[in-house]
Amino acid sequence: MIAACELIDLGFIGNIFTWTNKQVGRRRIWERLDRTLVNATWILHFVNTKVYHHMSMTSDHKLLVIKVCNESNHLPRPFRFEAMWLQDRSCTEQVQLAFEVDTAGSPSFTLCNKLKQCQKNLKWWNKNIFGLLDTKMQDA
């Protein structure tokens, strides 16, 4: 259902388990039953969202506290990969660096984080290494 609806698990900060049967000893069961699922549009709107697992005194489930941060009231400028970047070998290095980072969480959360890191790396690389094309063309 999650894949069919194209939902992404936001992951979490805190203890991995969100539920316990409150038994003792070998009878105790811990599971991660509760998750925060969103779609790609939601992620674009609220890029800096964090999910925290907090203890609850009244429930056998932990509280999912979702901190939504949207610095602006409009959608961020979309990231665009430039085909001309492929002519520079250091572009491939930036992509490889992003995908070598270990990330804990579900496969979709891990992929999402690696793609975010790749985007971040390429934006920095484009600005600081590849350079501003307008400036280079004027200099030439």
- List the pLDDT tens digit at each of the 140 positions of the chain: 888 888 999 988 888 898 988 899 999 999 998 999 999 888 888 878 889 988 888 888 888 899 887 655 555 677 888 888 888 888 999 999 999 988 888 888 888 889 989 999 999 898 888 876 656 667 77
Helix, strand, coil percentages, rounded to 5, for the chain: 40, 15, 45
Q: Residue ranges of the domains in the chain? A: 1-76, 79-140
pTM above 0.95, yes or no: no
**Measured distance CA(92)–CA(57) in Å, rounded:** 49
Run of H or E residues at 118: helix 107-125
